[in-house]
Chain A
Amino acid sequence: MSVLTLQNISKSYGKIQALNNLSFEIPQGCVFGVLGPNGSGKTTLLSIILDVLKADSGSFLWFGQPGSPEQRKKIGSLLETPNFYHYLSAVNNLKITNSISGRGDYQGIDAVLQKVNLFERKDSRFSSYSLGMKQRLAIAAALLGDPKVLVLDEPTNGLDPVGIAEIRELIIELSKKGHTIIMASHLLDEVEKVCTHVAIIKKGSLLTTGAVEDVLADEDTIEISAADITALAAAMKDYGNNIKILPDGNFLQVSMPKGTARLEDVNNYCFSKGIVLNHLVFKKKRLEAKFFELTNN
């Protein structure tokens, strides 16, 4: 069952088309990364599914039902920036979250503040917090009441490396418990470490979506090297059809159709051409490479 279904969502700000006919589904229990360059429409998309913005056209369904306040109460959300009353403490801000959403209770507030390492400062005013502490409080608010679905917009914003690692662990832990996490991020390394599914959008249009391994594994890439790199490049041109060769310093990155890269065959082929390889590895494609490949086109 899909947790969220987007159907032809479009949104424009005057002449700027922020989202263009966007449709995809988010399966239950996944960690879903919404990726895109700055200004691609990630936050606009999350704002629409949380009813902060109204779509010009299209619709979305949470658990098969049109979005409603009752559904939002069950979703822990962090949208764009930590939004809290500056004159109130962490505890009093979370009491408001609890009062509106009905998620959690006063004991639960202490528990989530401990989880994000903010318990010691729980009675300090929000205005006295550092950027990272504000972000931690926003994550605590999203976690209150242990919601089954979390929407996190750039959750590691403002966090130090330790904080980033903690959030990563937290997301993995929640995922293992069966929670569905929808996160927008431009930190591709982080997304790759935690996400099971992704949607990549650019200028409001969907470029690709699906399970991370499916999105990445559209071709095989091997990395090879030899004493005479120029002769190696020339030889590899005749290896087969649909081959892409990219020089990378003393190496060559050779991409070929998915399932066709067999290291023994490549080694044999080069040897038959009189070239002895001194480096031969199968390269797993990084999300970052795929992202650039898609968004630069």
Chain B
Amino acid sequence: MYSMTQIVRTEWLKIKKYPAFWWVMGITALTYPGINYMFLNVYYDITQKRSGSGQIIQALLGNPFSFPEAWKTVGYFSSIFIFIPSIVIIMLITNEYTYKTNRQNIIDGWSRTNFMVAKLIDVLLLSLIVTGIYAVVAFVVGSINTTNLAAPRWSMAFYIGLFFLQLFSQLSLAFVVGFLIRKSFLALAVFVFYFFVEKISVLILSNKYHNEIGEFFPLEISHRLVPRPAFFGKFDEKAYQASLEAVQYHVGYATIVLIITWAFCFWINNRRDL
């Protein structure tokens, strides 16, 4: 077995001087706090009205940006922008085909399995980095907005793991799109288009036809790992509780999809000509 550290080192050599990687990381590092700051402002705009209604709403909603709820709320809003790191994943795999370096890596001494392990490491590495960004944003948002010092800060920190699983699942699907299509702009267009089409389809199916089949759509399976913030429960308690209970099942579904996704990629890569 080729040394894992050698594979990680090689992938890092490819990534560390790739401008698109740092651009996307920069955009992610701005959009994740940005989207949460925006919703935070909306929340304060509503709850800090001098009239009594603000106080009533605050009492009704609680503060979704304080600990421990902040872990989930920030995860939910951040997941809107998962398609941003997806761009770099698609670029990293389609670059290999554009430059034919997927061939060169094999010629230079990797096995086809080594190559796919390297790509799996790329997706894992990016998932860890972006999860790190989310965790920092959630921690900062929670710390700033928690006035009750006795609040259990870490009781919902398991959402870091759920966010990671969601991210890893969705970036893996982005990887499959790039892996199969091979052309960067086409793959990006297909993935981003599908990302939004699936979201709209799930909403239409759920709201208009009351059909929950959308929860098994490829991206939605993992999207449901981080349910909506708690204040949604004030509008539909039953649906909110159901979404919380569904998380445990979606951990299983997402894991199965992940295993199938990567097994498929390894299988195809070992069979096809390069």
Contact = CB atoms under 8 A, between A and B. Distances in A.
A87 B19 contact: yes
Nearest to B18: A87
A72 B107 contact: yes
Contacts of B109: 69-70, 72-73, 100-102
B255 interface: no
Interface in A69-99: 69-70, 72-73, 77, 79, 81, 83-88, 92, 95-97, 99
Given A52-B273, A54-B273, A72-B109, A96 B103 contact: no
A52 B101 contact: no
Interface stretch (B8-16, B162-170, B190-198, B236-244): B8-16
B111 A96 contact: no
A84 B99 contact: yes
B201 interface: no
Contact of B101 (A54, A77, A85, A92): A85
Contacts of B101: 83-85
Nearest to B111: A69
Contact of A69 (B2, B13, B14): B2
Interface in B171-216: none
Contacts of B100: 81, 83
B110 interface: yes
How many A residues are at the interface, by size bracket? 20 to 34
A70 B108 CA distance: 9
A53 B17 contact: no
B99 A99 contact: no
A73 B108 contact: yes
A278 to B, nearest CB: 56
A88 B95 CA distance: 12
B145 interface: no
A30 to B, nearest CB: 21
B274 interface: yes
Nearest to A151: B107
B226 to A, nearest CB: 34
Indicate the member of A53, A96, A100 with the most B CB atoms within 10 Å: A100
A52 B10 contact: no
Contacts of B246: none
B10 A69 contact: no
A242 to B, nearest CB: 47
A213 interface: no
A268 to B, nearest CB: 59
B6 A52 contact: no
- Interface of B, helix, strand, loop or mixed by DSSP: helix
A53 B274 CA distance: 6
A265 interface: no
B31 interface: no
Interface string B1-40: 0100010011001100111000000000000000000000
B110 A69 contact: yes
A97 B95 contact: no
B105 interface: yes
Given A69-B110, A72-B109, A84 B104 contact: yes
B58 interface: no
A50 interface: yes
Given A81-B100, A85-B101, A50 B13 contact: no
A87 B17 contact: yes
A136 to B, nearest CB: 16
A83 B107 CA distance: 10
Interface in A40-83: 50-54, 69-70, 72-73, 77, 79, 81, 83
Contacts of A52: 103, 106-107, 273-274
A279 to B, nearest CB: 51
B2 to A, nearest CB: 7
A102 B6 CA distance: 9
A60 to B, nearest CB: 15
B273 A53 contact: yes
B105 A100 contact: yes
A99 B13 CA distance: 9
Indicate the member of A73, A87, A92, A101 with the most B CB atoms within 10 Å: A87
Nearest to A44: B273
A179 to B, nearest CB: 18
Nearest to A48: B273
Given A53-B274, A73-B108, A99 B2 contact: no
A83 B101 CA distance: 5
A50 B107 contact: yes
Interface in A222-270: none
A53 B107 CA distance: 11
Given A85-B18, A99-B6, 18 more contacts: A50-B106, A52-B107, A52-B273, A54-B273, A69-B106, A77-B107, A83-B99, A87-B17, A87-B19, A92-B17, A96-B14, A97-B104, A97-B108, A99-B9, A99-B13, A101-B109, A102-B109, A141-B108
16 contacts: A51-B106, A52-B106, A69-B2, A69-B110, A69-B114, A73-B108, A79-B104, A81-B100, A83-B101, A85-B95, A96-B13, A97-B108, A100-B105, A101-B108, A101-B109, A141-B108
Interface of B: 2, 6, 9-10, 13-14, 17-19, 95, 99-101, 103-111, 114, 273-274
